[in-house]
A and B are shown apart, each in its own frame.
Chain A
């Protein structure tokens, strides 16, 4: 057999064997058997020295071509086998639940408060706060609530066993007074916070709950401004299909006083025409006089509503106590 024939024959044997190797180690062994130091192809290459000068170029060319062919077969087969080896031993069940890294949730009351605050801030309001332990002056007197007004009933107010018998504020409106005492007009604030009423806990009452108060004082502020702002906020909060209705009411610290009802698809679904959502009004001149603002120069409006109520409406929660039990199955839903 001529050298050329031998090259062809060894090459074919190598390619066949490489292509039939079933595993990577077998492939590497086959590679060794042909291309290794004592390999069959290597042995042929050594014979190049012993052939005639005339034959050498052709043989060299054939040798190179054969080597490339073997190496290419090797690379191809190796990739195939590597791919095969990398196949997972068992198929992944993509329907099994993944491994979760829990992200905690903010309390629904925090989320709703944040949304309300965001809506007001867009309109230039700043967040303010004040103490939860209050005196009668800020909670009632300065808000034009006379001493014998039913709203001041000790039945409804918690008093603290401390010097001066302070009380737990029954509304965030006390902060109106605190802010106006400290800051000159114009004022544009909102006050989210906890308030307290001496009610036994049931599906719609908790002794602690949250309100948000808005106060705007400037020159020439009108009922029109009040309506426009409230409408903007509630559209932001409850969706653009919301409709509001303002109806005269009574609060000691506003005049005129209004209650706000709203309606949207949700309210209709509840089988109601309107749902009461907030109280508001133009700041009573007596309140301005009390804090030293001239009611001839300044006018303003205030409004307040319960945060739990908004959250209950938004999420369809029917028992206020759920907010304070902090059952994680509840908290994780928001």
Chain B
């Protein structure tokens, strides 16, 4: 909503500066989104009267004058000769500048200065100096009727300076989509009275020139119509055109401009029809007849923007006996719009119910200033006065005469609502004591009226709610009004109170944060991916994703069933930007079907590609790229940090979908925790990923459910250990797990740990086989082990390897 400072001042008095008004409106809840200063013509030039004229002591051709400027007297030194005391002239005050002339680089600013030793406080102007037609030599002498002190622009009827405010009106306050509505807020804040425009009284006798029939009172509770005959459609007067232009409306003609002006002034949308284009009804005395009815299914209607619409009974039409003539509350029809030849005008001022207008506006894609106001809720009680105001202004600007009685079809008048305010509740909610009498004063200044009723509790007041305040429904709403007028900035802040919240997720938040920190400590950067992804990308991981019913684009038409598609996208994004070392993790929610329902779950995923280490300038490791062991090491660290035991990694025998090689991670061999592996290089290459890509994803809900944060101390070993190494050649299919299984079966005494330290193929190792080397550490808790104790135990273990795995031991 745009409004200007001068327009507001037509309706309420206030002496705030433009900046102060911005601040006041904002703190009232009317956020000022923009302020534009309009510099008017002849800024700083007023009508003045010469009181006396004396010769300049030091110059023959100059005179020294005393001049009244409407506020006081000034001394002016003047060189013109064509004036005498009593003449009224334009006077430019110090600080103001003359209208710029072609070729001027900078405006000519008038200053207080001495002319031949005598001070001059301003300058009386000639027509040439003001850029006006040059009829005289010397000062511009104004008619004696000119008012001293009046801005010269106003005297000439030109636009003065003004300030345009662009206000954000919240949807609960439709009444603020009007100048009067905003002025009312200012009136309530200042205590000054609100000025409504003066209206001509409607005639009380006569006949109505039109017939109005409301067929859909549920959609149109009130409809008024007035007729003016003999108007001359033409350009609007300057004041009207300039006011509309200031707030961003285009001037069309005097009749249409008036209806727009009154809408902005009162908030009530109006529509004007060319009466002669409205079909008279048969049998109602031949009078033009307006029917407010639902459109027929498939009824075609062309709005005045030239667009044709196919309507349904959802849409409300204003129709004559033959055709639709306006889409109620949204836009008029092309067939009856005001044109240059129009002489007889029908003014519609009506109230339409918000929901219907919103549906129609949305369904047809038509948003207008009228529909905007109706769909938020207009004021049914303002309908007649706005129509009267519109008629007055049309008569004043386009001439004509009002014809007959206005029609006011208002089948059911709604009763004013009342709301009770318990005065002590104000302090209870706001935290500041405001005397009851002040509370009443604030609310009545907003237009609420005290309306005591039998049985109202002491300490409370009952108010009737004005019809324009659709948002005031209950006590809390009234308390908000009091808070606004009192000023939220004046409510003292009280320190946070002691109390502790609780929620089961509180602990989970910390657990997630801790895992995040651990992953970062492993060198991974945290990613935050899109929740919405492409369904094809989602299917990569072999799951049918949950789709959106109304996606914005096919890029984002599915809910992620896994974090991996998003992370793969992030890898691609980085690689195409030549970030060669990309190691990411993400913790986030995924969405999967479970029967009919969609379930959300927390996941953790890791993605690695490219260089293992940051760029360095020496050493063998510098060119190494990540491999599957980098990934597995990270997964192990995280699961170990969560205290999970009995985690197994089972290689999938086949390449599947996303993976060229992968393993299932499980707990106790059963509960699946997730998977890890290497992405299909063909798929990777399609995404510009040339180095091997390693991915892991784990079920974070399961990790958190099974996590074991309990740590207990094991005493540090007191006695030295004995290390024995064993190297063996085994068939390719023998896994580390198989080696451990042999150890578990043989249970060698005092074996503390068994760690692989070399795995290799080739050289002297036959094809299809590999060499495994282990370090075995033996230690007794209570004494120093002797070599001869270890030797037989170790030999038995080596024999076990040889026997059960077909290992040949390398001596």
Contact = CB atoms under 8 A, between A and B. Distances in A.
Interface stretch (B76-84, B494-502, B715-723): B494-502
B500 A326 contact: no
B598 A207 contact: no
Interface stretch (B209-217, B317-325, B529-537, B785-793): B529-537
Contact of A246 (B489, B521, B574, B581): B489
A326 B516 contact: no
A272 interface: no
B597 A163 contact: yes
Contacts of A127: 503, 505-506, 509
A158 B551 contact: yes
A253 to B, nearest CB: 11
Interface in A243-282: 245-250, 252, 255-259, 282
B559 A160 contact: yes
B614 A162 contact: no
Contact of A107 (B471, B506, B528, B552): B528
Given A104-B519, A126-B501, A166-B598, A161 B474 contact: no
A230 B227 CA distance: 57
Contact of B501 (A132, A148, A189): A189
Interface stretch (A31-39, A46-54, A60-68, A216-224): A216-224
B526 A102 contact: no
Interface string B333-363: 0000000000000000000001100110000
Contact of A231 (B493, B593, B597): B493
Interface stretch (B253-261, B426-434, B702-710, B758-766): B426-434
Nearest to A96: B617
B499 A186 contact: yes
A114 interface: yes
A125 B548 contact: no
Contact of B499 (A124, A150, A168, A192): A124
B525 A104 contact: yes
Interface in A291-334: 299, 323-329, 331-332
B598 A124 contact: no
Contacts of B430: 222-224
Contact of A327 (B475, B496, B499, B574): B574
Nearest to A301: B429
A249 B168 CA distance: 10
Contact of A222 (B354, B428, B591): B428
B28 A224 contact: no
B500 A124 contact: yes
A159 B548 contact: yes
B500 A224 contact: no
Contacts of B767: none
A223 B551 contact: no
Nearest to B432: A224
Given A103-B521, A124-B500, A163-B596, A256 B547 contact: no
A144 to B, nearest CB: 10
A40 interface: no
B465 to A, nearest CB: 15
B28 A326 contact: no
Interface in B358-396: 358-359
Contacts of A327: 573-574, 577, 579
B209 to A, nearest CB: 37
A299 B429 contact: yes
Given A163-B596, A224-B430, A224-B492, A328 B525 contact: yes
B520 A105 contact: yes
Interface string A161-205: 111011010000000000100010011111010101011100000
Contact of B585 (A103, A104, A190, A250): A104
Interface stretch (B96-104, B147-155, B479-487, B678-686): B479-487
B479 A126 contact: no
A200 B552 contact: yes
A72 interface: no
B494 A224 contact: yes
A295 B725 CA distance: 76
A286 B476 CA distance: 10
A91 interface: no
Contacts of A328: 525, 574, 579, 581-582, 584
B143 to A, nearest CB: 47
Contacts of B593: 162
Given A158-B550, A223-B429, A228-B493, A149 B171 contact: yes
B538 to A, nearest CB: 13
B470 to A, nearest CB: 12
Contacts of B616: 97, 99-100
Given A105-B520, A162-B596, A224-B491, A325 B549 contact: no
A239 interface: no
Given A223-B430, A228-B494, A250-B29, A160 B548 contact: yes
Nearest to B169: A250
A160 B598 contact: yes
A324 B530 contact: yes
A78 interface: no
Contacts of B358: 148, 150
Contacts of B474: 285-286
B246 interface: no
B547 A331 contact: no
B667 interface: no
- The 5 A-B pairs of least Cβ separation, nearest first, read A222-B431, A248-B29, A224-B431, A188-B501, A250-B170
Given A227-B491, A331-B526, 17 more contacts: A100-B614, A107-B527, A110-B516, A124-B500, A126-B505, A132-B600, A133-B598, A148-B358, A207-B552, A224-B491, A227-B488, A228-B496, A232-B496, A250-B172, A259-B31, A323-B528, A326-B570
26 contacts: A97-B616, A99-B613, A102-B523, A104-B524, A104-B583, A127-B503, A127-B505, A129-B505, A129-B508, A148-B354, A148-B355, A154-B550, A158-B549, A158-B550, A159-B549, A162-B598, A163-B596, A196-B532, A222-B429, A249-B31, A250-B171, A256-B479, A285-B475, A285-B476, A328-B584, A331-B525
Interface of A: 96-97, 99-107, 109-110, 114, 117, 123-129, 131-133, 148-150, 154, 158-163, 165-166, 168, 179, 183, 186-190, 192, 194, 196, 198-200, 206-208, 218, 220, 222-225, 227-229, 231-232, 245-250, 252, 255-259, 282, 284-286, 299, 323-329, 331-332
